[in-house]
């Protein structure tokens, strides 16, 4: 059974850091295009970062320069290191597996979603 389970969310003060984890089962993150999205109620889902099977990464938008995506293939786990958090980073964060048919990017079709983990940043 293909499954993604996020953890590591919680409450943090502005300026702080959090690391989200996403444990995969039923497939290998090492051979897939993986990414992180987030969503605030009432707003569109926002793509944050993607990592390809060759280790190439891309971080976009407000996450660029603050967030880092990585994976531990031995643990079959994806990570999102988040630094310099602001209240605008408050959201539900989702780990995803993406289709590589048209290349690995945040525009690729999402084939599997995790259940999400809540991040709340207070000032």
Residue 99 has pLDDT above 90, yes or no: yes
pLDDT above 70: percentage of residues in the chain: 100
pLDDT value of position 102: 87
Tens of pLDDT along 33-87? 999 999 999 999 999 999 999 999 999 999 999 999 999 999 999 999 999 999 9
Counting every residue, how long is the chain?
123
pLDDT (mean) for 11-33: 97
Going by DSSP bridges, is the β-strand pair 10-13/117-122 parallel, antiparallel, or unpaired?
Answer: parallel
């Amino acid at each position: 059974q293909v499954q993604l389970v996020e953890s590591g969310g919680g409450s943090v003060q502005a300026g702080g850091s959090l690391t989200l984890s996403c444990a995969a089962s039923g497939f290998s993150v090492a051979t897939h295009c993986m990414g992180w999205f987030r969503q605030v109620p009432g707003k569109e889902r926002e793509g944050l970062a993607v990592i390809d099977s060759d280790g190439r990464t891309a971080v976009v938008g407000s996450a660029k320069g603050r967030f880092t995506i990585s994976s531990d293939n031995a643990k079959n786990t994806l990570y999102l290191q988040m630094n310099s958090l602001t209240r605008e980073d408050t959201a539900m964060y989702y780990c995803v597996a993406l289709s590589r048919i048209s290349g690995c990017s945040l525009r690729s079709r999402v084939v599997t979603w995790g259940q999400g983990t809540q991040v709340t940043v207070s000032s």
